[in-house]
Amino acid sequence: MAEANQKDCHSVPATQEALDNDVRQCLLYDSDAPNARLIGIEYMITEPLYETLPPEERRLWHSHVYEVKSGMLVMPNRAVPEAVWETAENKEMEEVVKLYGKIYHLWQTDKGHALPLGEPQLMTSFTADGQFDFEKHVGERDKKFGTSYKRKAEVRKHIEAPEIHPDADMAWKNRDVFRGSGR
């Protein structure tokens, strides 16, 4: 999972749990080590639930189309044969591509904070090319986990990209929306 704000970008490992058919929650960690610190939470919801939100709330959510289709979003695999894992991962990505996410960053470990300080920050994800140095950051992730975003993008070509609601991804469309929330 990648996060974006005006000053920095980084990738973070995450675990995901479905609360019901419409809501998932992802716990974001600063690493994949056993002593990893919980640094954020992402809530992911279906389009029908997203559409029930008031417009000012919808503006705080981001789409997952770019993360999925670019190969940026992965489910790291350490134990299952790659062909089996790829099939399972693609099946999951067929669902994730349709979800909207809202991330709260709780602990700025990348800034050297020893504790979670200050108010939680509303974060977003990358939604298009040119928003960060994709090759550098995703390439580093690929080296670490033995993945390939190019391969992921190729095998996800069949995944249909839904139409993104015009209120989503406002962090990139209008950065002023987030100025009052620590961005």
Residue-wise pLDDT tens digits, 81-97: 989 999 999 999 999 99
Residue 41, phi then psi, degrees to nearest 5? -135, 135
Spans of all domains in the chain = 2-178
pLDDT band for position 50 (cuts 50, 70, 90): very high
Taking the C-alpha atoms of residue 28 and residue 11, their distance in angstroms, rounded to an integer, is: 10
SS3 143: helix
pLDDT at 5: 35
Mean pLDDT for the chain? 86
**Locus of tokens 């489910």:** 75
Do residues 92 and 76 make contact, with C-beta atoms less than 8 angstroms apart? no
Which among 43, 14, 68, 47 is positioned nearest to 168, based on CA atoms?
A: 47
Mean pLDDT of 25-52: 93
pLDDT at 12: 56
pLDDT band for position 75 (cuts 50, 70, 90): confident
Percent of the chain exceeding pLDDT 90 equals: 64
Residue 11 has pLDDT above 70, yes or no: no
Instruction: Tell me the pTM.
Output: 0.84
5: which 2 tokens? Answer: 């704000």
Taking the C-alpha atoms of residue 101 and residue 147, their distance in angstroms, rounded to an integer, is: 23
pLDDT at 15: 65
pLDDT at 177: 46
Half-sphere exposure (CA, 13 Å, Cβ side) for 28?
A: 24
The greatest distance separating any two alpha carbons of the chain, rounded to the nearest whole angstrom, comes to 46
Do residues 102 and 122 make contact, with C-beta atoms less than 8 angstroms apart? yes
Taking the C-alpha atoms of residue 92 and residue 11, their distance in angstroms, rounded to an integer, is: 19
pLDDT at 179: 43
DSSP letter for 3, please: E
pLDDT band for position 144 (cuts 50, 70, 90): confident
127: which 2 tokens? Answer: 């939604």
